[in-house]
Amino acid sequence: MRSPGFRHSSLCGLFVLSGSLLSRAEPLVLASPDGQIEISFQTHQRSGQLTYAVSFHGKPVLENSKLGLDIQDQPVLGNGVAISASTRAKIDESYTTPAGKANPVQNICNTVVIETQEPERPHRKLEIEARAYDDGVAFRYLIADQPLEKSVRIVNEKTEFVLPEDATAYPLILRNYQTSWEDNYRTVALSGIHPESLIAMPFLLQLPGKSFLAITEAHIENYSGMYLKHSATNPRALEARLSPRLDDPGISVSGESPLASPWRVILIGDTPGVLIQSNLVQNLNPPSAITDTSWIRPGKAAWDWWSGPYDQHVDFKVGKNTATAKHYIDFAAQAGFEYFLLDGGWAAHGTGPNSSGADITQAQPDIDLPELLRYAKSKNVRVWLWSHWTDVARQMDEAFPLYEQWGVAGVKVDFMDRDDQWMVAFFRRVAKKAAEHHLMIDFHGAFKPDGLERTYPNVLTREGVLGLEYNKWSARVTPDHNVMLAFTRLLAGPMDYTPGGFTNVRREEFIARNVHPMVMGTRAHQTALFVVFQSPFEMVSDFPEAYYGTKELPFLTAVPTTWDETRVLNAHVGDYITIARRRGKDWYVGSIAGSHGAELSIPLEFLGSGKFVAETWSDAPDADVYPEHTVVNKQNVDRSGVLKAKLVDGGGQAMRITPLE
């Protein structure tokens, strides 16, 4: 059986091995194209337990780990099976995408589909499909048509991830299955994570002296999201947990065979930069379902929510009204931004929490939406609209055609805060319906990305992160937190963090406030986030007067939000990172540091031949005392050069490198 939606660009080397050969205990091995990563599968001689293991450079990164599905009112599927056949192939393709960290994207791997069956009645079947890339491996369950019944009700997976030794772990611990995924990452020994803790993905781990690996998932469709728990019996093991259905909490997935699980992904590299550069999650998703993607245009947006009802030197009352929105549209036009996001409170008022229960087909009296849309069009700026997900679920069949008629660019959908099977399907329904009406989507209040942006490239970004907004009510968004996000949350895909806070203060001066919020760390740090963090739809968070006249505004105007190439130049988990991204012939380089600061060397070997001009926005010498102070410098460079970056506590540096005319 070929899995639903499984496609090969280039297939070769297909063969089937006899059941008598594969029923023996020798592992079936699948190697990456460069031969450095191997994933192997085998069954235990006595119990028939199906297991897998992963090695890197010939050393184990995951030891024999159980595979299986806990199906309601049935024995575990995967315990007591024999491998009967396997089919090998290769994928070697490249594809273009409207937005991402690389374009074109290379998708090159070796694959295998392993068929197993229970020797005893009822002879249930289970297939495992695996892929091996040069930067990781992935596998998924394929439930074939069963001998007696097509209905499948999955309670949980028995999937394990058993490390060869204790490791340094960087978990995001969530309180339950219904959260916004907005919390701080921690640093702890794997053995020190309590078994009752619910670990979100992507989950970064460091094996001493061996490698970095991150566990996540890709292509969640007709399924629920997966989490991890630390085993109560094995200090080196992690166990899968599926988000339960709200309508039937005793199960997580309800469907009919044939049924495919999401891909269980293990990113692997000698350095964390390999994981950050990877496109593996995106590659594991089906190709674009949208034939004409010319209308999908990444860009930056002025945003009226983060600052609260605050502005300076204006002659109107600031708030959720037409005058304020026009002021932000003017700023977007002058700064060269493509969009303005009109956030919550624009629609006819509802009665539910967080502005739910609104009528998203009409505006409240203080917002003249037709006039705003006309005005924005005259300024060559397009408008996005915010909506609570419950209103989208209730009204999208009516609202989305209206938005297309009005010329709305996209919709920010908020407060989903779960990834059970129903909600996963809702994300896909929204993406599909939006694409039918040429609308782009930003999923806020969302679970982690799973590569959906390949199939529906109109889904530009999503939240699933403790972002800059938390400065309005907490002191949790520190420079250390920002650095950690580059190594953790960003591995899953685009991240709607909303950078650009320009009221920059030292930690001891910080006060959480809802109106005119502050940020910890330097202005150069906030500027560099536009390179370090990837989001094809990027909010420039602060109010217009925070940017007018600043040295950094030209950089914010110029920096793209989608890229042709990404390279990690410096990386130490939690301490500092430097990422270089290319768009066309221009390179942008962002460096940020945590509370220890950093002195970095930035080799320019990634540049092509010829001469370039490097313009840098750096921490001023006194930025540790006055975090808003920066220094702008220009110099001629070529690929033989090495630039220095001295980052203060919570500091940063942004750089634009362009060919010398």
Is the domain of 483 the same as that of 398? no
Q: Cα 177 from chain centroid?
A: 18
The CA-atom distances, in angstroms, between 407 and each of 332, 384, 393 are: 17, 10, 21
**Structural domain ending residue among the three candidates 242, 257, 283:** 283
Q: What is the spatial distance between Cα 534 and Cα 582, in angstroms, rounded to a whole number?
A: 12
278 lies in the same domain as 305: no
Pairing of strands 382-388, 410-414: parallel
Distance CA 173, CA 156 (A): 20
| β-sheet bridge partners, residue 342 | 385
Residue 623 DSSP symbol:
T
Q: Are residues 512 and 630 in the same domain?
A: yes
**CA-based diameter of the chain, in Å?**
83
Instruction: Please enumerate, as own/partner, the contacts of 119-125 that have beta carbons within 8 Å and a separation of 24 or more.
Output: 119/48, 119/80, 119/81, 119/82, 120/80, 122/146, 122/147, 122/148, 123/147, 124/74, 124/77
Share of the chain above pLDDT 70, in %: 96
pLDDT tier for residue 6 given thresholds of 50, 70 and 90 = very low
Whole-angstrom distance, CA of residue 396 vs CA of residue 418 = 20
Contact 477, 521 (CB under 8 A): no
**Structure confidence by residue, pLDDT tens digits, 394-447:** 999 999 999 999 999 999 999 999 999 999 999 999 999 999 999 999 999 999
Same domain membership, residue 74 and residue 186: yes
Q: What angle, 0 to 180 degrees and rounded to 10, lies between the N-to-C axes of helices 389-406 and 421-436?
A: 10
* Distance between CA atoms of residues 648 and 413, nearest Å: 37
Q: How many Å separate Cα 2 from the centre of its chain? A: 28
In CATH, what number is assigned to the domain containing residue 204? 2.70.98.10
- In the predicted model, is pLDDT for residue 177 greater than 80? yes
Catalytic residue among 135, 157, 343, 414: 414
Does the structure show a pLDDT above 70 at 8? no
Domain assignment present for residue 175? The answer is yes
Q: What is the mean pLDDT of residues 339-366?
A: 92
Residues 124 and 236 in one domain: yes
Residue type, 635: Q
In 3D space, the residue among 350, 361, 294 whose CA is nearest the CA of residue 98 turns out to be 294
Domain boundary among 283, 309, 339: 283
Percent of the residues in the chain that have a pLDDT greater than 90, as a whole number: 92
Q: Are residues 312 and 207 in the same domain?
A: no
pTM: 0.95
**Mean of pLDDT over the chain:** 94
Residues 369 and 268 reside in one and the same domain:
no
Per the structure, the complete domain to which residue 128 belongs is given by 19-283
Counting every residue written for the chain, the total comes to 661
User: Active-site residue 469, yes or no?
Assistant: yes
Query: Is 380 among the domain residues?
Result: yes
Cα–Cα distance measured from residue 276 to residue 488, given in angstroms and rounded to the nearest whole number:
9
From the list 469, 480, 538, 649, the catalytic residue is 469
Does 34 participate in catalysis according to the annotation?
no
Beta bridge partners of 569: none
Number of independent structural domains in the chain: 3
Read off the DSSP letter of residue 552: T
What is the rounded average pLDDT of the residues 168-186?
Answer: 97
Listed residue (78, 40, 42) closest to 60, CA to CA: 40
Are 105 and 227 members of one domain? yes
- CATH code of 521's domain: 3.20.20.70
Query: Which of 253, 283, 313 is a domain's end point?
Result: 283
H or E, element range at 360: strand 359-363
CA dihedral 109, 458, 465, 556 (to 10 degrees): 100
Q: Which helix (H) or strand (E) is 616 found in, with range?
A: strand 612-619
Q: Are residues 310 and 351 in the same domain?
A: yes
Query: In this structure, are 330 and 259 located in the same domain?
Result: no
> Same structural domain for residues 278 and 303?
no
